[in-house]
Structure 1
């Protein structure tokens, strides 16, 4: 497995490859969710490249950039065992310059939900993914549905900028008790983790209710009875194009939650 620590080395390596390339962009602290993306990429491509980069431009002031879990050597071992061909580990210094041309998230769908609570977050996400795509030039790139709005916006960027890349959507991976896997779960105490389970339980309940109830406000009322969080930021019902909906559309609805348990901000969703 090759370790590529600069854009130049990654670009040079990419030029040497003959065949399809699957790409899994990550911020490290790899878990089973990341592994599921890697396994799918391996099954569909001749080569797999994983990036590990805690991207500073997608963190807002006061967020957890400095304490975000970093365990590079352990991540290398995980990638090696999973059969990854190369890991790209750039630094902020070799990814960014002082006076950059910027990419902006769309004015509407980049500033609702996650974009409302984290204004400018998606500017940073799209900026770094654009760079990664240009460096790695993958055949296919793999993203989890847990970050549903991010996934939607990346797909829009690929379409708007005419990238010749296939975006592969992968289902959210959960613990046996239903908690969506996230690198930030390590912040939760045992008590907080038990309370965090109310998020996936509320989503599961909503999915079950949607078979007979189409009014989203009625479903939301039932979800709030289950949720045990410290700060409820949003419960939202949207279609696959992130338009708000008032009634469930079978096969074209996403229910999303963002909430804080203790000091940890968690997001989750369900596609129905």
Structure 2
């Protein structure tokens, strides 16, 4: 397994590989890998000749009061896990190499990014789209795999690929959960023991929504009320949002008629967690 730190060297390597006829699979990450990331690597591994994973904590997707400095990092552990999963190249750049001091060009999606996490994290998805566009230009993947846990991000990347004609196929990887149902996240590390137990309310609230929908309740207002009641009983839970949106357009809905994405963000202390489920009746 090779580790490449220079953006120019990364691009040169994949150009050589593509000229030789190799297909490239890609999994972008911010490191501190867990089973969710590894499942995406296994999915990508099955689609390509050469698998590239990037590890880059992207500074431009963090707001001024967010956890950039506290974001967990452990490159040696990540390197071992990548090698175990059959990754051929780890792209491990630093911010200085990725962003010129006078950088002034950004990629900004203007519709899907207005809601959900985009409403409470202004500028976040501009940072995501910009770095993913740069990574696509440097890695030149034929296939890139993104996880469903970051549902809004996934749909925004799919829209960016469509609208800007990136020659890459986006593959969706399912959410991977802990044994008790908590969605795997690098930020789970920051939870105290009590917060870790409290955080299970995300999954339980989604389960209640699913059960109500399957029993015939189609009113978003009624389902959301039950979800709020459950989360408000949890001592340290601070709701950011619970939203019901069309799975394709991310427009708000008031009835479960078409496939609906139920997405929520909840803070436990300083740790903000997200989860989601698509309900199809």
Q: TM-score range by the shorter chain?
A: over 0.9
In structure 1, what is the Cα distance between the partners aligned to 2:49 and 2:30? Answer: 23
**Partner of 1:249 in structure 2?**
257
**Partner of 1:105 in structure 2?**
108
In structure 1, what is the Cα distance between the partners aligned to 2:117 and 2:108? Answer: 12
1:5 to 2:15 alignment: no
- Structure 1 segments unaligned to the other structure (5+ residues): none
Which range moved further: 91-100 or 170-179? 91-100
1:222 to 2:226 alignment: yes
> For 1:209-258, what per-residue CA distance to the aligned partner results, in whole angstroms no more than 9, with x for missing partners?
112111001001111222125311110001122111111135x1110001
**Partner of 1:259 in structure 2?**
266
1:202 to 2:205 alignment: yes
Q: Give the TM-score, by structure 1 length.
A: 0.97
Q: Give the TM-score, by structure 2 length.
A: 0.94
CA shift for structure 1 position 104: 4.2
**Partner of 1:69 in structure 2?**
72
| 3-state DSSP of counterpart to 2:86 | coil
**Partner of 2:164 in structure 1?**
161
| 3-state DSSP of counterpart to 1:35 | helix
1:119 to 2:122 alignment: yes
